[in-house]
Amino acid sequence: MSDIKENETLKVGKLQYFFATLSFVPLLGFLVSLILLPVSLFSKKEGSNRIASITSIGTILWVLIFTMYSPAAPKAVTLQNGNVIYPLSEGNMYFSAKDTTAYHFKYQTAVDIENEVKLKEEAEFVWLLVQPKVNFKEYKLAALSASSPKIKTGLITSTNKNFGFMLEKSDSGKWSFLDKP
């Protein structure tokens, strides 16, 4: 026996329309549409097809945005030796072994990541660029990470290689590389 009489129709409420329009809101909308779309498709309520259509449009919009999104290219910086690097990020890196925080600078380079000698030469010039900031913030350790350009491997995937150098400040205040290729 059914709880619903045959001539009685269930109508979509205002709350469901509200959730459907949420499918257009950044981040939250994508999650809402993932939940609301299957529910609307299998609902027997009158108007649920409209809800499914609205939600589908929102979902398609976000899928297109996520697949076509490409972050802005970093600005080029020319080093004293003429090499061009692209700063990617900078911040803190915590080392539990030494119980300290290091300054971390990651950059994209055109130098072959497999060539450690050339990378070390470039890292010395990168160090001249970031050393004033590191000294100003009174770090005792610094990490420089060289990254190769990203190579697209699929629609939304890419790959690259990285190589890092550590610098340590001695008690006398002199910085030296810990990694020596």
Please report the DSSP string for 73-120 in residue order.
Answer: PPPPEE-TTS-EEEEEEEEEEEETTTTEEEEEEEEE-SS-TT-HHHHH
11-56 pLDDT, tens per residue?
A: 556 665 666 666 566 656 666 666 666 666 666 666 666 666 666 6
Residue 5 lies in a domain: no
Q: Which residue has the higher pLDDT, 33 or 87?
A: 87
Task: Tell me what pLDDT residue 7 has.
Answer: 46
Q: Domain check: are 120 and 97 in the same one?
A: yes
Cα gap 17→15, rounded to integer Å: 5
The answer to whether residue 30 is domain-embedded is yes
* Total domain count, the chain: 2
At 10, the pLDDT band (50, 70, 90 cuts) reads very low
pLDDT at residue 91 above 50?
yes
* pLDDT tens track for 116-174: 999 999 999 999 999 999 999 989 999 999 999 988 888 778 899 999 999 999 999 99
For residues 54 and 84, state if they share a domain.
no
105 is a domain residue: yes
Name the residue range of residue 172's domain.
77-177
Same domain, 60 and 83: no
Q: Is 136 helix (H, G, I), strand (E, B) or coil?
A: helix
pLDDT computed for residue 8 by the predictor = 45
CB distance 163 to 145 below 8 Å: yes
Residue 154 and residue 131 in one domain: yes
Query: Does 108 have pLDDT greater than 50?
Result: yes
